[in-house]
């Protein structure tokens, strides 16, 4: 059993990573990421000021960076315009076709950029992945049930074309042991104990959550109480039997009361945030979900960016990333999860520019 976090949400961590402005869209000291920087050049050319975003661009309808114009400082030299890709694969799964709310908005924005996109099942045996400039992981939501097949497929795709996000980043993010790395880097995270196969579980007092180290959505997630510790141990043993480590986390009362706060970054820049409320059953499985737009404050953005900074320093800037925040029982912001594999980006809850920015990011290569 490996305890990972004991004290969470330390203010010195948030202060160390706090950006100069709440909506500064560059990571401190980071390179200017090519996709969205290229979008600035493209848009500037469209409004008649090559290479420079003019002040009036803030009010031009459809400008995906209209908030960035006001808040984002220039960071380093401006890059040259990237090459626009012409053919993408949007990787999905048969069972969830038509159930990804991001998909129609993103595909429409890509079509407006004359990018050809095929929606392809990741396990399609006849798909020619080498025919695409980039394969974008989106609604491949059945992978936890077929992890071996999924990992083998990722390797095959990575051998013949560009995978988005990159394979090393995806492999790292598939297993929630990454929370230990975030904690070790000083990122405020939800207190987590890993129970490895063959190790006894020492369970906390009160109510707590048990979840698999590899999983998506609420698969395998259950709420337990110290009065029924035997049930929790059986749950952990079942996860071990499936080849997964188990995570034990406190049941945070803020999640039921306030919800979770996904913060979305596109090409390393803050895009938008939402508040998500999930109605859970008595066993902890999600039953119903709602979301709405949320304006992040300085503290939320600082914590989210501190997690993104760890990812960026290790693997480079993710094309898209979602950092899910919650409040711990001391009301401090902390990271619940980092999503860089196939996260829902909550485009329907964002303004119109978010889908346009995603389209630019997905279709541009430096």
- Rounded CA separation 282/192 (Å): 21
Tokens at residue 133, please? 């400039």
Residue with tokens 């190790």: 199
What is the per-residue pLDDT for 217?
74
Does the pLDDT of residue 84 top 60, yes or no?
yes
SS3 category, 149 = helix
- How far does the chain reach from its first CA to its final CA, in angstroms? 44
What is the per-residue pLDDT for 286?
52
Q: How far is CA 233 from the centre of its chain?
A: 30
pLDDT tens column, 107-143: 999 999 999 999 999 999 999 999 999 999 999 999 9
What is the per-residue pLDDT for 218?
79
Whether 177 and 245 have beta carbons less than 8 Å apart is answered as yes
The residue count for the chain: 366
Whether 210 and 235 have beta carbons less than 8 Å apart is answered as yes
SS3 category, 121 = strand
What is the per-residue pLDDT for 3?
56
The region, left, alpha or beta by phi > 0 then psi within -120 to 50, assigned to residue 257 is: alpha
* Burial class of residue 202, CB neighbours in 10 A (0-12, 13-18, 19+): exposed
Summarize the confidence of residues 336-361 as an average pLDDT: 96
Does the pLDDT of residue 80 top 80, yes or no?
no
Q: Name the nearest CA neighbour of 67 among 53, 88, 48.
A: 53
- Rounded CA separation 109/103 (Å): 10
* Burial class of residue 62, CB neighbours in 10 A (0-12, 13-18, 19+): exposed
Does the pLDDT of residue 18 top 80, yes or no?
no
What is the per-residue pLDDT for 57?
29
Tell me how many helices (H) and strands (E) the chain has: 11, 16
What is the per-residue pLDDT for 70?
28
Q: Name the nearest CA neighbour of 218 among 81, 336, 71.
A: 336
- Rounded CA separation 133/162 (Å): 7
Q: Name the nearest CA neighbour of 140 among 343, 347, 349, 354.
A: 343
DSSP state of 108: H
- For the packed helices 167-174 and 147-160, what is the interaxial angle rounded to 10 degrees? 170
Strand pairing class (87-92; 134-137): parallel
What is the per-residue pLDDT for 283?
53
pLDDT over 70, % of the chain: 75
pLDDT tens column, 263-311: 999 999 999 999 999 775 665 555 578 999 999 999 999 999 999 999 9
Tokens at residue 210, please? 């048990």
């Amino acid at each position: 059993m490996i305890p990972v976090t004991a004290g969470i949400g330390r203010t010195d961590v948030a202060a160390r990573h706090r950006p100069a402005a709440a909506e500064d869209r560059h990571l401190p000291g980071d390179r200017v990421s090519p996709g969205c920087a290229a979008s600035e050049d493209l848009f500037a050319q469209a409004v008649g000021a090559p290479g420079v975003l003019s002040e009036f661009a803030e009010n031009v309808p459809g400008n995906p960076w209209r908030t960035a114009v006001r808040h984002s400082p220039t960071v380093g030299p401006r890059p040259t315009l990237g090459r626009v890709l012409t053919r993408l694969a949007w990787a999905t799964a048969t069972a969830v076709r038509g159930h990804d709310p991001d998909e129609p908005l993103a595909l429409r924005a890509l079509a407006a950029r004359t990018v050809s996109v095929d929606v392809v099942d990741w396990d399609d045996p006849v798909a020619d992945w080498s025919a695409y400039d980039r394969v974008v992981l989106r609604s491949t939501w059945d992978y936890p049930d077929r992890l071996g097949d999924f990992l083998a497929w990722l390797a095959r795709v990575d051998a013949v074309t560009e995978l988005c996000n990159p394979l090393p980043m995806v492999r790292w993010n598939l297993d929630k042991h990454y929370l230990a790395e975030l904690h070790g880097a000083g990122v405020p995270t939800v207190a987590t104990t890993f129970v490895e196969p063959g190790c006894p579980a020492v369970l906390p007092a009160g109510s707590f959550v048990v979840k698999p180290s590899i999983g998506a959505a609420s698969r395998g997630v259950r709420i337990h109480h110290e009065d029924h510790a035997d049930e929790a141990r059986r749950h952990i043993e079942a996860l071990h039997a499936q080849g997964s480590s188990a995570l034990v986390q406190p049941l945070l009362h803020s999640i039921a009361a306030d919800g979770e706060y996904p913060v979305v970054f596109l090409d390393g820049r803050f895009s938008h945030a939402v508040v998500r409320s999930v109605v859970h059953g008595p066993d902890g499985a999600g039953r119903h979900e709602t979301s709405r737009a949320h304006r992040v404050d300085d503290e939320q953005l600082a914590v989210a960016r501190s997690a993104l900074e760890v990812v960026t320093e290790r693997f480079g800037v993710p094309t898209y990333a979602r950092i899910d925040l919650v409040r711990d029982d001391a009301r401090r912001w902390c990271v619940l999860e980092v999503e860089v594999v196939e996260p829902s980006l909550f485009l329907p809850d964002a303004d119109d520019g978010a889908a346009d920015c995603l389209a630019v990011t997905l279709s541009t290569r430096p």
